[in-house]
Structure 1
Amino acid sequence: EMEKFDTDQSFLHPILSECRVFKSELELALIQYANDISSAAHVE
């Protein structure tokens, strides 16, 4: 379906990559929660 559209990934890629660098407090809390769950799975 997407093949019929012309795409230029070089335009948005740097912008989206930069956006991934900055995290909100909520994003950080969710990442920490996921890490905590993952770590707990490895504890006897």
Structure 2
Amino acid sequence: GIVNFQTDLDTLHPILSEGRVFKSELELSLIKYANEISSTAHIE
């Protein structure tokens, strides 16, 4: 069960951190699109 699940944070942390920092052009486009929708919703 979940009690026996082990996590290797020394391996995971750098991988997850890099994924949070570096964005592809597609990711940037999606973030900008979501921001535009959110901004429009707050104005209306």
TM-score grouping bracket, smaller chain normalisation = 0.7 to 0.9
Structure 1 segments (4+ residues) deviating >2 Å: none
The unaligned stretches of length 5 or more in structure 1 are none
In the alignment of these two chains, the number of paired residues is 44
Deviation at residue 30 of structure 1 after TM alignment = 0.3
Deviation sequence 1:1-44 (CA, Å, 0-9, x none): 42222222232112211222111111001000100000001113
Normalising by structure 2, report the TM-score.
0.75
How do residues 12-31 of structure 1 correspond to structure 2 at under 5 angstroms? Answer: 12-31=12-31
**Overall identity of the aligned pairs, in %:** 68
Normalising by structure 1, report the TM-score.
0.75
Aligned position for 1:2: 2
